[in-house]
Amino acid sequence: MARRVLALLILTALAATGGWSFSAFAADDAAIARGAYLAAAGDCTGCHTDKKAGGALLAGGRALPTPFGTFYGPNITPDKATGIGKWTAADFHRAMREGKNEHGSFMFPAFPYTSFTNLTDADIADLYAYLQSIPAVAHQMPGHDMKMPFGWRPLLFGWRMLFFKEGPLQPVAGQSDEWNRGRYLAEAVAHCQECHTPRNLLGGLDRRHAYAGDPHGADKQDAPNITSDKKDGLGDWKEDDIVDLLKSGMTPDGDSVGGGMAEVVEGTGKLTDADRKAIAVYIKSIPPLPKTPK
């Protein structure tokens, strides 16, 4: 009995100093593991870890330049002052499903809630369990450096009417379980369209050219066409070629991916072979489109 009381006192002290979150002990270990898997597949570290500055895991700070200004990836560790330690599961669910923060205000779509809205309730809950389990890091973010008038959040009401459709993603009847799993991973979890689909003048995804590439992509990178077009896309690739790229970052001609895709592969390399295969099946089914012109 005395040992249990002592352990409780230690945990209380750790929680009070910000070293741990009680959520780490309350959450089911299996839920945390599933959430970690989803976080890897979604490349959460790509936006929320400032690797160049030696930043702590998911403690934010990475600058994300866009045509509308520079965003800074927020701290999503369970720190109560600078992270999401005070967020409830309902707050987190609202952010992912509705694109609204803990106060109910519209979030800027630099956070790809237009894709994350497609996640299942169960996967959102698992992600929350994982994020609440990691070490809390006190790291205050600078304010977003937005160009006028794009920093005015009420404008997002009209933007959302045009470009946001709340999920979750529904399976497509007549398609195999593997195809639907691949679509879910590509569309919702890994949010592939956020980089590989071009955007219009208002920053909305131009879904008429889904996956045809974006020459003005994130961090000013030229995201390639990954439709089944034989000239500009992956038409000549086999499913196993896509699986290999997602696992090792190697292309069929022996080259290796770089830039943002190299970071993505750090996550997809942790997926199961079955999930990488499912993504490949879905990607190979995308109709051919010419590459988006610059």
Global pTM value: 0.88
Q: What is the pLDDT of residue 131?
A: 98
Nearest to 278 by CA among 205, 197, 166, 189: 189
- Residue 86, Cα to own-chain centre: how many angstroms? 21
Q: For residue 224, with 0-12 CB atoms within 10 Å meaning exposed, 13-18 middle and 19 or more buried, which class applies?
A: buried
pLDDT tens string 143-160: 888 887 777 888 899 999
Tell me how far CA of residue 71 lies from CA of 25, 45, 64, 109, in angstroms: 33, 15, 5, 10
Averaged over 132-136, what is the pLDDT?
Answer: 97
Strand partners for 72: 63
Structure tokens at 31: 């839920």
| pLDDT digit string, tens, across residues 63-113 | 888 888 888 999 999 999 999 999 999 999 999 999 999 999 999 999 999
**Which parts of the chain fold into alpha helices (H)?**
2-16, 23-26, 29-41, 44-48, 89-98, 113-116, 121-131, 156-163, 177-184, 193-196, 239-248, 259-268, 273-284
23-33: average pLDDT: 73
Cα separation of 235 and 265, whole Å? 21
Q: Which residues pair with 250 in a beta bridge?
A: 256
Distance, CA of 62 to CA of 60 (rounded, Å): 6
Residue 214's pLDDT is what? 93
Residue 63's closest CA among 271, 280, 219, 260? 219
Half-sphere exposure at residue 95, Cβ-oriented, CA atoms within 13 angstroms? 20
217 pLDDT higher than 80: no
